[in-house]
Structure 1
Amino acid sequence: MQGHIGVQVPVTVRTFTQLFSCTPRGARLARRLVANRMDAWGHAYDDEANETVTLVVAELAANAVTHGRVKGRDFRVRLLTRAGEGVVRVEVSDGLTERLPVLREPPGPGEENEGGRGLLLVEALADRWGTGLCTGGTYKTVWAEIRVPSV
C-alpha cells in the first residue's frame, strides 16, 4: 500500500491458523477457538460479526469432518483479516480432494433431506465463497469472506 509521495504505509494483518482432528470433537473445538479469536480481535462473543464468522466456521468444519475425512489427516481452519478492510476470510481445508462441495437447493415439500444444506447457510451469510485445491493437490479449501465492522 502506498502513502503520500511513495512512503510505505504498514498494513496490519491478523491471522489465526490451527489444525484440528477430523472428528466431531475437532469441529466443536474449531468453533470455540474461532469465537475466542474473534473476541480477542475486538468482536465480542455476542456480537453479530463473531456469531456470523463462528457459524460459517461451524458449517465448514462440520462439512470437513463429514465429507472430507481422510484417515490420518487433520483439517485446518485459517482466519485472515487486514486492518481497514472490514472483511474476515475464513478458510477450512481438508484432505479429500476428489469431492468439491456443491451448493444444493433446499428440499421441496415432502422431499427427503439428504444433507449438504450447510452451504446454503454459508451462501446466505458470506459476501463471497468458493473452493480451491491447495498447491500440490493434497488438500482442498473451502473459503468464505464475511464483511465485519472494523475495530
Structure 2
Amino acid sequence: MLARRLAVWKLDEWEIPYGSPLSDTVALIVAQLAANAVLHGRVPGRDFELRLVYPYESGLVRIEVSDTHEDWPDASPVPQPDPDADGGRGLLIVEAVAARWGVSDRIGPGKTVWAEAGRP
C-alpha cells in the first residue's frame, strides 16, 4: 500500500529508521487506518488524506487519516468481531499498538481517525 510506504519513507527522513520498532508500529497503524478509509470511508469522487506529525521532543508520531464519510467509528471500546469473520480487526490492532487513538472533526465533510505511537 502506497500510504504505508510513504509513511516509513517520511519516518526515515526524520531519522526513525526502516525496520525500527517505531517505524514498524507506525506502518501497521497507517496500513489499518488507510484500509479502513478505503473500505468504509470512501465517498465516490473523493479520496482519503494521510498526515504524519512528529514533534521530536514528544517522541510521539501522530498519524491522521481523514476521509469524507460522515460515519464515525466508536473509539471506546472497539467491538469484538465474529471469530469466523474475515475482517473487522483493524481498529483492534490500532488500539493494541497505539499509545492512544481517537476520532475528531475535520474541516469539510467527514472525520479524522488519528493514533499516536511512541518510542518504547
Same fold (TM over 0.5): yes
Flag the structure with larger Rg: 1
Q: Which residue is equivalent to 1:124?
A: 96
- TM-score using structure 2 length: 0.90
C-alpha distance in 2 between matches for 1:33 and 1:83: 19
Give the residue type in structure 1 aligned to 2:47.
D
Aligned to 1:141: 112
Deviations 1:41-74 (A, max 9, x none): 1111111110000110000000000000001111
Q: The residue matched to 2:58 in structure 1 has which SS?
A: coil
Provide the TM-score with structure 1 as the length reference: 0.72
Match of 1:96 among 65, 69, 75: 69
Return the structure number with greater helix share.
Answer: 2
Deviation at 1:125, TM superposition (A): 0.6
Show structure 1 runs of 5+ residues with no match. 1-27
The answer for unaligned runs of 5 or more in structure 2 is none
Superposed structure 1 runs of 4+ greater than 3 Å apart: none
Aligned counterpart in structure 1 of residue 36 of structure 2, from 49, 60, 63? 63
The match for 1:54 is: 27
> Which SS does the other structure have where 1:69 is aligned?
coil
